[in-house]
Amino acid sequence: MKRVETTCGYCGCGCGIYVNVADDDTILGITPSYNHVVSKGKLCSKGWHGYAFVRDSRRLTSPLIRQDDGTFREATWDEALEKVASGFKDAMIDEDNTERIGIISSARCTNEENYLMTKMARAGLKTSSIDHCARL
Ligand code: SF4
């Protein structure tokens, strides 16, 4: 077994955890980081037990693109990112795109990731329509 030090991804608190991983890469459980500056050895129930999603069969493993008939097909990351960038370019028509482009970030991101999302929205996409769902 190996212990992988990382940050809990369930909310923006950013508690320090070790993921205990078997030799076949199966996750065996979570152990708190006892000297982590945020969590100091404590985790909520999501931090202790919320790792089943990693191997959930319903989890998407590749991007999907909606086709004209409404169905989805698998795509490469390059193709999906190109489609997203193209959609943003089409929607950006002036210096204030607040009415056309809105960004929904996530409470599961770290504070730093949400800060970057704000920068991308305001500086890159020229929109001040940004929110996130801090309701886990
Ligand atoms: S979900 Fe719980 S353990 Fe995970 S970062 Fe948030 S408070 Fe910490």
Q: 59-68, pLDDT tens digit by residue?
A: 999 999 999 9
Q: Which residues have CB under 6 Å of ligand 1?
A: 8, 10-11, 13-15, 39, 43-44, 46-47
Answer yes or no: CATH 3.30.70.270 is held by domain 2-55: no
Domain boundaries for CATH 2.20.25.90 within the chain? 2-55
Over the stretch 4-26, which tens digit does the pLDDT of each residue have?
A: 999 998 887 889 999 999 999 99
Output the pTM of the full model: 0.69
Q: What distance in angstroms lies between residue 92's CA and the mean position of ligand 1's atoms?
A: 37
Pocket test residue of 10, 30, 136 for ligand 1, highest count of atoms within 8 A of CB = 10
The larger pLDDT score, comparing residue 130 to residue 134, is at 130
Q: Which of 31, 34, 43, 45 to mutate to test the pocket of ligand 1 (most atoms within 8 A of CB)?
A: 43
Q: Where are the beta strands (DSSP E) in the chain?
A: 2-7, 16-21, 27-32, 64-66, 72-74, 103-106, 130-133
- When computed from its CA atoms, the radius of gyration of the chain, rounded to whole angstroms, is 19
Each residue's pLDDT tens digit, 75-96: 999 999 999 999 999 999 889 9
pLDDT at 135: 55
